[in-house]
Chain A
Amino acid sequence: MPWTAASRSMLKAPVNRIIPFSNVDGPGNRTAVFFQGCPFNCLYCHNPETIHLCQSCGACVKTCPAGALTLGGDGAVHWDSAACVQCDTCIRTCPHDASPKVRWMTVEELMTELRRSMPYIRGISTSGGECTLQNEFLIELFTEVRKLGKTCLIDSNGSFDFEKDPRVLRVSEGVMLDVKAVEKRWSDQLISHPRDTVLKNLDYLLKVGKLYEVRTVILPDRDRENEETVRYVAAHIGDGCFYKIIRYRPFGVRERWQKLLGEFETDRDYAERYAQLARDLGAKKAYVV
């Protein structure tokens, strides 16, 4: 049906960034695609400029030293990537945790860029922001990528209910799931969003064999919170998937939250204790990064 093809090519998603080669977003060398927009607002978010879409307030247009940003007749901020010097002044200026350097791309446009890195990579990983906000787009994208014999992994905060709509899992090798907090009060404070779907996804993805890895950020000196989360995850996943224990790093974290959470990165030995705890509880594939 011709209208289906037409509607396909019209589907667009906001792409914040494409990293051609990444060694930390799943197995092997992968291209990582970061989409704009996230339903969470985590205190330790290290790329907060990916949380919201541009509000077209124009504040960044005034501060851009390269003249790469303009407020168009359509009322939207336009970004000239050729003129941009990547100084990130716009990102520091933005009062909305957004970025003007977002490209609304069709699947075909994105594929054109991805094809360049295909010979060098094992697959792609989609991240964000939160890539599952672009569920329909991901389904089409993954279908195309798989035609080239490459794998597709989803990096997700777990807000999307995969059980309710498992279509994207059918074209994906699996999910790298963030489980940031388990205890309800702490979770509400940390991620500003209900965590019930996250925990539901943990069990569901494990059950259907689509959980590639779980990640938890270990904060400095938060013994109780860290331990609760690690215990919960470890007990649930066993040796069913990797468990990546991530040390908190203040780099990129908004200043006011750095003051609350810590201005130094989590000590490696401290993080190793939690990896050991996880392994003791049966999560054999737990390790610190």
Chain B
Amino acid sequence: MSEALKIIQDPTLTYKQELLALARLGESTDDTLRYSDAYYEAKRKGALCDLNEGVMPYRPRYICPDYELLFQKGCKFLALDPPRDLLEAVNVLEIFYCHVPSITSFPVYLGDLDKLLEPFVIKEDRAYAKKVLGLFLRNIDRVQTDSFVHADIGPEDSVTGRLLLELTEEMQLAVPNITLKYDPERTSEDFALACVRCMLKTAKPSFANHRMFVREWGERYAIASCYNGLNIAGGGYTLPRMRLYECALDAKSPEDFLQRELPRHIDLQLEYMDKRVKFIVEQSSFFKTNFLVTEGFVKQENFTGMFGVVGLAECCNYLLGIEDKKKGFGMNKEATALGVRIMDAIDARVRAHEAPYCEAYGHRYRLHAQVGIDTDGMDDAPGTRIPIGAEPTMLEQLEVNEIFHPYFPTGTGDIFKFEETWAKTPEAVLPIIQASLERGLRYFSGYLENNDVVRVTGYLVKKSEIEKLRAKKQSLNNVTVFGMGAQDGGHALDRRIQKHA
């Protein structure tokens, strides 16, 4: 049976999912972009992975439009005037979102919604504003049907922020993903506690280390897709990843890995990124003709390439001959120290590489701890995480995260699953997050064990939607199928539960 026929006969795909799968298939028929034999060999071995980005990039992977500009000037191409009230504002956004491309074809960044909408919300009666925002969220959930769609709030408290939290809790939707930009000096204790309460019950918002992101990106940064730090009015061209465990398989020792196999694979991934970035900028029409570019909603120089890694834990354990992962990376000082040496080496080599078309970042790519994909199985844990099933206490897990999170300006994070009693004590959860962010944690996610909406590796799915797919029914959300794969292959929903005793 042909690939196309398989797609159009698959009972679990919605019409739109079929369309996207067919587009991907069509894209794969071209071979304009070629890489070195060594690259293809590393890819074949699973040491390098292109995350199925497609062989012919016709848009950057992640795009973070400048929505403030949209509200100031409107959009000529879409014939939208600047909004004058709340109803117009959400209408403008809903229309605009449908024209923001990405790797998933859905907008991965919806804007800092509280800041954007607050001037309109405070002019309205609270109940009316809540009604409008509720319909706005419903529109996003049913139209932008992909859990990598992401909205930001904070750091300051606001009426809009509060309403979005209330609605998130009431509506229990998987889309959009939400991040609170947390800054201890700007986020009030009360608002942070409201976010903790909402996070435990709905798996969102996550907490981003605002001060850390601002140091790296400046104030105008976005958290997009899973947990990706990027520039507003910019984005990420491409995100391939080194699968570090597979990269290590031919190394004779940790030293051999550090001196030979690691740099070799880093260079191959850089070759892939350089070619792709040049193609997107020079060959594809996006940066020449797309209205987002021509009207200034994004600027090419604000984009960067995201250099991804996964499987640091398994890589270190393999190189040190550690078979029991419960006694390996994260719990074992030697393995963790090797992890630091490996990350230092990756960081230094990527920094030394002059990257094309990354003007805003000193012509450099930025590191990303990739969150894993459904087909990774148990060989490569997301980014630098301790593998599921081997997690130590939350304290020890945070300590390890605090070491590795600073390496990744384009994103990393960890997820903690809490037992029910923690929902009643948000005041016990907040200081854990606060202290860890202060000590180097970049991004914290949590959820309660019995939620329907749960965080898989970085994105959200509904457990009830996974059950639909298992019953060979369709799920509106494109990402549910990844959640099922990660649950089956990576046991992603079985992470250690934080009990009370």
Contact = CB atoms under 8 A, between A and B. Distances in A.
Interface string A108-131: 000000001101111000000000
A19 interface: yes
A277 B398 CA distance: 43
Contacts of B501: 19, 22, 24-25, 32
Contact of A117 (B395, B425, B428, B429): B395
A28 interface: yes
Contacts of A25: 501
Contact of B421 (A19, A24, A30): A24
A116 B395 contact: yes
A120 B396 CA distance: 12
B431 A120 contact: yes
Given A23-B422, A120-B436, A29 B431 contact: yes
B395 A27 contact: no
Nearest to B426: A23
A85 to B, nearest CB: 9
A117 B435 CA distance: 10
Given A27-B427, A28-B428, A29-B432, A120 B500 contact: no
Contacts of A121: 431
A29 B429 contact: yes
Nearest to B419: A23
B431 A122 contact: yes
B421 A21 contact: no
A33 B435 CA distance: 21
Instruction: Point out which of B421, B425, B428 has the most chain A C-beta atoms below 10 A from its C-beta.
Output: B428
A119 B433 CA distance: 10
Interface in B391-437: 393-396, 398-399, 421-422, 425, 427-429, 431-432, 435-436
Contacts of A240: none
A262 interface: no
B500 A22 contact: yes
B229 to A, nearest CB: 24
A20 B421 contact: no
A148 interface: no
B274 interface: no
A11 to B, nearest CB: 26
A27 B399 CA distance: 23
Nearest to A289: B421
Contacts of A22: 500-501
Contacts of A32: 501
Given A116-B399, A119-B438, A120-B431, A23 B425 contact: yes
A22 B418 CA distance: 12
B421 A23 contact: yes
B498 interface: yes
A28 B433 CA distance: 13
Contacts of B498: 21
Contacts of B99: none
B439 interface: yes
Contacts of B395: 20-21, 116-117, 120
Instruction: State which size class the interface on B falls in.
Output: 20 to 34
A271 B435 CA distance: 36
Interface string A243-280: 00000000000000000000000000000000000000
Contact of A23 (B396, B398, B428): B428
A131 to B, nearest CB: 15
Contacts of A289: 421
Contacts of B427: 27-28
B280 to A, nearest CB: 43
Interface string B424-460: 0101110110011011000000000000000000000
B151 to A, nearest CB: 28
Nearest to A119: B435
Contacts of B429: 23, 29
A29 B428 contact: yes
Nearest to A19: B501
Nearest to A116: B395
Contacts of B425: 23-24, 28
A18 B500 CA distance: 12
B337 to A, nearest CB: 18
Contacts of B436: 120
Interface in A12-43: 19-25, 27-30, 32
A119 B439 contact: yes
A120 B435 contact: yes
B393 to A, nearest CB: 5
B393 A21 contact: yes
Contacts of A119: 435, 438-439
A152 B183 CA distance: 29
Contacts of B438: 119
Interface in A159-190: none
Contact of B398 (A27, A120, A122): A120
Contacts of A30: 428
A120 B401 CA distance: 14
B68 to A, nearest CB: 36
Contacts of B393: 20-21
Nearest to B394: A21
B394 to A, nearest CB: 5
A27 B424 CA distance: 12
A23 B436 CA distance: 17
A122 B435 CA distance: 11
A21 B501 CA distance: 9
A27 B436 CA distance: 19
A248 B393 CA distance: 27
Residue from A19, A25, A117, A121 with most neighbouring chain B CB atoms (10 Å): A117
Interface in B102-121: none
Contacts of A27: 427
25 contacts: A19-B501, A20-B393, A21-B394, A21-B428, A22-B500, A23-B425, A23-B429, A23-B500, A24-B421, A24-B425, A24-B500, A25-B501, A27-B427, A28-B427, A28-B428, A28-B431, A29-B428, A29-B429, A29-B432, A117-B395, A120-B395, A120-B431, A120-B435, A122-B431, A289-B421
Q: Which 5 residue pairs across A and B have the least CB separation, nearest first?
A: A23-B428, A20-B395, A29-B428, A24-B500, A119-B435
Given A21-B432, A27-B427, A116-B399, 9 more contacts: A21-B395, A21-B428, A23-B422, A23-B429, A25-B501, A29-B428, A32-B501, A117-B395, A122-B431
